[in-house]
Chains A and B, each alone.
Chain A
Amino acid sequence: MLCQNCGKKEATVHLTQVVNDEKVELHLCRECAEKKRFHTPFEGVPFPLAEFLASMLDQSLIEKPSKVSDKKCSTCGMRFSDFSKIGRLGCGNCYVTFRSQLNDLLRKIHGSSQHRGGVPFTPGDVMKPLREERKLQEELKKAIQEENFEKAAQLRDQIKALSNKK
């Protein structure tokens, strides 16, 4: 098999990532893998984060070139192409502006693009329903671990009712 990046040399580095049940495969030759720094994240060299992120982005741009447009964040003025160079976003609103591109990238970095952790106690507590849902999710997980399926079914219905209200 030839390298997916240069298309010239034999691919010797094979990466497989399962992302939300979707298999992503990458086959590169040694030189391209080194260029993309995919092979040795643990050799004691400072981890070139921006480059690493950019290399992940390049792939997503290659995969879906038609969907990419260079949007600009209305709050801080950052463009997606700026982000792909520096690896950092400018403000919270960038996440809204670049939501679809970030969804792809986050799935590649974290294996998920859906937050399942804590929810802030904001003044006025507009986050209450989210926090409640999260608490029920944790209880559901526990009930399943304890094989208490009756309780699990109840919790599942409660969660469903909550998300319908949203």
Chain B
Amino acid sequence: MFEDMAKRPAIWLSGEDSTSQIVLSSRIRLARNISNCPFPSEADTDSREKVLSFIKSAIDKSPTLSQGRFVKCTQLDDLDRSFLLERHLISLEFRQCRDSSALFIGEGEQVSIMINEEDHLRIQSLQSGLNIRAAYQIAAKIDEELAKSLEFAFDSNFGYLTSCPTNVGTGMRASVLIHLPGLALTKEIENVISQISKLGLAVRGFYGEGSDVLGALFQVSNQTTLGRSEEDITESLERVTQQIIEYEENARNRLFKDAKDQIEDKIFRAYGILKFARTLTSEEVLNLLSAIRLGIGEGIVKMVTLSQINEILAFSQPSHLQKYFNKRMEPGERDRIRAKLIRSKLAEGK
């Protein structure tokens, strides 16, 4: 499944405007539950199936969700799940989901809905670049359309009720995926992270909660969901993101002023390795791409474009690679095939 999707990178990873060089994408996630039905972790199969069919029929009635594909968890093998995770369409938790869980993927992959994950519904909206508000508007519209046929668990004091009390209230998590090589190289990143966390925001790795930091890519999101309005949360994330961009730009300016030769060397070595290497692990690729993305942002790399970089970023992930060639591969074979694919992608640009 999904071999067709694996032939192209997700739309949210295709931003080419100036903000997309530092902020790759913006995301909104809303957690919702159906009133009077136990949350998925406590529900028996009957109850989970009932919830699933309620939600399926609500999705069918939603005009915004008229195009897309609906897949049940039972149709997904391990490779499909890892692929969807790499594509940021599902969470780490959803990868473990059993029967009666399902996923809706909207047209263009800018919307996905996880059903019977930790909560009955997880509505997700993704946009490329720094576009938190646009992502929120789409998520809010879907929320409103679904609420016409579903009664959500809601309390006038606690707001939207969720399985985990860390999501209660708005049920909203707003996040940006941000590339901070300047702050990582100048070692200022820890300082920035500790400042961000004081502002009620959390910093995580590339694949979200519980994942590692790879290729200087960080996910910044709101930590609290109760006591603030949705507008407050999105505005403050946007403000803080603008501030982080400024810090990153300052760090880059200092780097190029104080250590121009070393940085340029690092960037062009990265390009050389990607262009000629015979085996490459996905982690190595993420780190090399980070250097080249920095070079493109600073205008010193001209032989490769941001969209080529994003394409390589997408396809070099382990499950993408296997879906792209429609073949299961062991890690060693993957590293060879990955290097070959990247060589051909970089040759295309010439």
Contact = CB atoms under 8 A, between A and B. Distances in A.
A95 B143 CA distance: 22
A7 interface: no
A23 B159 CA distance: 25
A53 B151 contact: no
Interface residues of B, number: 54
Interface string B145-160: 0011101111111111
B193 A42 contact: yes
A91 interface: yes
Given A47-B210, A95-B158, A110-B225, A122 B41 contact: no
Contacts of A87: 164
Contacts of B77: none
Interface SS of chain A: loop
Closest 10 CB pairs of A and B: A112-B227, A115-B159, A92-B153, A46-B210, A117-B170, A90-B42, A110-B226, A110-B224, A91-B38, A92-B161
Contacts of A111: 200, 224, 227
A89 B166 contact: no
Contacts of B194: 42
Interface of B: 33, 35-39, 41-42, 118, 140, 143-144, 147-149, 151-161, 163-166, 168-170, 172, 193-194, 197, 200, 202-203, 205, 209-210, 212-213, 224-232
Interface in A40-90: 41-42, 44, 46-47, 49, 53, 75-76, 78, 86-90
B154 A90 contact: no
A123 B148 contact: yes
A122 B32 CA distance: 13
A53 B166 contact: yes
A123 B205 CA distance: 40
